[in-house]
Structure 1
């Protein structure tokens, strides 16, 4: 729980009573590699904080090909916000790329935190704003660049994940084939 509160307290202040109340609503879980935190077609009902591991957000395009939108690593919140907030079926999957340890809050408990803790909504708003900005910053430069530049940018954006996730997921994220990625990696290491 320490990592979770270290993360939360970067966005606002909480007293010990509030911290104890939040702790009482949290559950620690393990999600094994390839299992889903949330699934397309289902309503997201939990918010998670990643203590260990990497998750990815992915979907299937109209050709049935799997597309990786982005990765979420340790010390970040994970939630399909659109589905969670509006109780709509999700359009994406959130899948464990590695075995993951998470702290989770069920929707009813998260809503209770929002209603009970003064300032919790401001803290979560700052976290969501930061996450949305990161998402845009991470995707925007990748759109117009050649594949090698996109890969080098990926290494900048996700320096700690490149050796922990399958090349097929990286290739999907970059919008290239796995063989193209292998050629790029080989040419860079020469």
Structure 2
């Protein structure tokens, strides 16, 4: 399980991990399993752990006053799941995070994150690169939601994350894109005709 994370760090950092670095990572990350439909976080709770997905599929979502789910984030292997605002500010989360498939994660507490940032250069380098990538992805998604058609949003999503179409049900993809599943069905039919 830890080897998956060590391999992940190599993708984001040119700094090699020492034996001491690996030992510190093992001390700070705890293996954690979720069954399908089991919560990692529920709205109203404080996010005490941040999870690195080793295996499985997850979603982060809010529920409006009408009971409608709004998917904020989807996660597969080598993705991170947690509510950053709640995790770092110790405030109740607005989001639910649950498993859509059985999941294996490595979870980290805030204090562990701080220790790794201070003492493991490869971890720090990875976090900086992920923060940059997350900002770019957030801005793209927001701009797309404001100005692109449903068809363009779907095509872009599948181009960037082809595994999403294979791993997530259509109603989950539709919610993530901000459309209903009938609209997504029409979009997919149009794309097949092209």
TM range (shorter): 0.7 to 0.9
In structure 1, distance between residues paired with 2:8 and 2:102: 21
In structure 2, distance between residues paired with 1:122 and 1:91: 29
| Structure with higher helix content | 2
1:156-175 equivalent positions in 2, closer than 5 A: 156-175=159-178
Q: CA deviation at 1:155?
A: 1.1
In structure 2, distance between residues paired with 1:28 and 1:118: 20
Q: Which residue of 2 aligns with 1:5?
A: 6
Q: CA deviation at 1:44?
A: 0.5
In structure 1, distance between residues paired with 2:139 and 2:56: 22
1:29-108 equivalent positions in 2, closer than 5 A: 29-108=32-111
In structure 1, distance between residues paired with 2:40 and 2:8: 20
In structure 2, distance between residues paired with 1:132 and 1:57: 17
Q: Which residue of 1 aligns with 2:22?
A: 19
- Runs of at least 5 residues in structure 1 that lack an aligned partner in the other structure: none
Aligned pair count? 189
Q: CA 1:148–1:122 in structure 2 vs 1: closer, same or farther (change >3 Å)?
A: closer
TM-score for both structures, normalised by structure 1: 0.87
In structure 1, distance between residues paired with 2:68 and 2:41: 19
My pick for the range that moved more, 56-65 or 119-128, is 119-128
Q: Which residue of 1 aligns with 2:137?
A: 134
TM-score for both structures, normalised by structure 2: 0.85
My pick for the range that moved more, 176-185 or 105-114, is 105-114
Asked whether 1:176 is paired with 2:189, we answer no
Q: Is the partner of 2:166 in helix, strand or coil?
A: coil
1:27-61 Cα distance to aligned partner (Å, 9 max, x none) = 22221222222221111011211111222221022
- Runs of at least 5 residues in structure 2 that lack an aligned partner in the other structure: none
Q: CA deviation at 1:12?
A: 5.5
